[in-house]
């Protein structure tokens, strides 16, 4: 396999640094550089001068230059930055892997439209295990009917995470809703403090915890008057997300155009 040239958006972020380390240590990839937003104080410095990463590559704000060099760009940033990157990807015909969370349905629609010009793989969670959990939740929701089983989704992340519920939790809710042949927007309950009334049959409830440096924990509970079934995933560290993103980079580098998710990758195994 020819080496894949990879660029990193948000290279100084938590995921950006982990991805850069793994790419530099993987013989199947070539790191062509990383970029940050124009106001970042480290622009123009060597990566090795501001992190523990052994790379003399300069941190740039010129995203276009990285897109032109790369076969694939990996993006774990913010919805606004991701939309800018998608436009660059479509202009340069560079494959893009998106792990950004908090992307709205309207923004997702724009990304899908631009994927007609370049291949894009987007997932709220790059972990292979979580993507298997998505399917298990769909199956369970289909079998455990709303008139018997209530669905509650609980998630816990590190204190630095700003979106809540997490993108993964919302995706779990979407898979549960699909299993019950409904829409998450009609059934989700994010806050029970504003409307003081009992739970409705078919509601999909969410609860959020933020603290410490927890990489990510998600539980989907199916609760009846007689029993409770919990489907649970715990990320011990970010390595599973990095590994999944690199697998996604290999997968998407072989595509000409189109919108894909991690389930597309899993189907090729």
DSSP secondary structure letter of residue 13: S
70, 94 contact by CB (below 8 A)? yes
Instruction: Give yes or no for residue 26 having a pLDDT over 70.
Output: yes
Average pLDDT over residues 220-233: 98
So where are the chain's domains? 4-122+238-266, 128-235
Which residues carry out catalysis?
157, 161
Phi, psi dihedrals of residue 165, rounded to the nearest 5°:
-65, 165
Span 54-83, pLDDT tens digits:
999 999 999 999 999 999 999 999 999 999
What six digits make up the tokens of 77? 């940033």
String of DSSP letters for 63-112? HHHHHHH-SEEEE-S-HHHHHHHHHHHHHHT-EEEE------HHHHHHHH
Q: How many DSSP H helices and E strands does the chain contain? A: 10, 11
Phi, psi dihedrals of residue 145, rounded to the nearest 5°:
-70, 155
Identify the CA nearest to 245 among candidates 71, 45, 22, 79.
22
pTM comes to: 0.82
Q: Is 29 exposed, middle or buried (0-12, 13-18, 19+ CB in 10 A)?
A: buried
To which H or E segment does residue 266 belong? Answer: helix 262-266
Identify the CA nearest to 170 among candidates 124, 239, 223.
124
Span 169-225, pLDDT tens digits:
999 999 999 999 999 999 999 999 988 889 999 999 999 999 999 989 999 999 999
- pLDDT given at position 124: 84
- Distance (Å, whole) CA 67 – CA 117: 14
239, 62 contact by CB (below 8 A)? no
Q: Count the helix, strand and coil residues of the chain and give each as a percent rounded to the nearest 5.
A: 35, 25, 40
CATH of domain 128-235: 3.30.360.10
Q: Which residues pair with 119 in a beta bridge?
A: 258
DSSP-based three-state secondary structure for 29: strand
Span 111-166, pLDDT tens digits:
999 999 999 999 988 998 999 999 999 999 999 999 999 999 999 999 999 889 99
- pLDDT given at position 1: 67
What six digits make up the tokens of 222? 């199916």
How many angstroms separate the first and last alpha carbons of the chain? 17
14, 101 contact by CB (below 8 A)? no
Phi, psi dihedrals of residue 204, rounded to the nearest 5°:
-120, 105
Specify the fold of 4-122+238-266.
Answer: Rossmann fold (3.40.50)
Instruction: Give yes or no for residue 269 having a pLDDT over 70.
Output: no
Instruction: Give yes or no for residue 237 having a pLDDT over 90.
Output: no
């Amino acid at each position: 396999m020819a080496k894949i040239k990879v660029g990193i958006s948000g290279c100084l972020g938590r995921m950006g640094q982990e991805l850069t380390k793994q790419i530099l240590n993987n013989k199947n990839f070539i790191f062509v550089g990383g970029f940050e937003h124009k106001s970042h104080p480290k622009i123009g410095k060597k990566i090795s001068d501001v992190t523990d990463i052994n790379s003399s590559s300069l941190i740039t704000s010129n995203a276009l230059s990285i897109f032109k060099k790369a076969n694939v760009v990996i993006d774990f940033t913010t919805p606004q930055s991701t939309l800018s990157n998608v436009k660059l990807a479509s202009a340069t015909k560079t494959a893009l892997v998106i792990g950004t969370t908090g992307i709205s349905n309207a923004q997702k629609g724009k990304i899908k439209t631009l994927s007609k010009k370049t291949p894009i793989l987007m997932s709220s969670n790059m972990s292979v295990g979580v993507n298997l959990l998505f399917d298990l939740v769909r199956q369970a929701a289909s079998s455990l009917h709303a008139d018997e089983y209530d669905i509650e989704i609980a998630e816990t992340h590190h204190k630095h995470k700003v979106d809540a519920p997490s993108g993964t939790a919302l995706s779990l809710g979407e898979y549960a809703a699909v299993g019950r042949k409904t829409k998450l927007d009609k059934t989700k309950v994010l806050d029970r403090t504003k409307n003081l009334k009992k739970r409705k049959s078919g509601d999909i409830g969410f609860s959020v915890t933020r603290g410490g440096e927890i990489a990510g924990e998600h539980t989907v509970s199916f609760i009846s008057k007689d029993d409770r079934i919990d489907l649970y995933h715990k990320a011990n560290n970010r390595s599973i997300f990095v590994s999944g993103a690199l697998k996604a980079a290999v997968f998407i580098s072989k595509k000409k155009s189109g919108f894909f998710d991690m389930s597309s990758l899993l189907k090729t195994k």
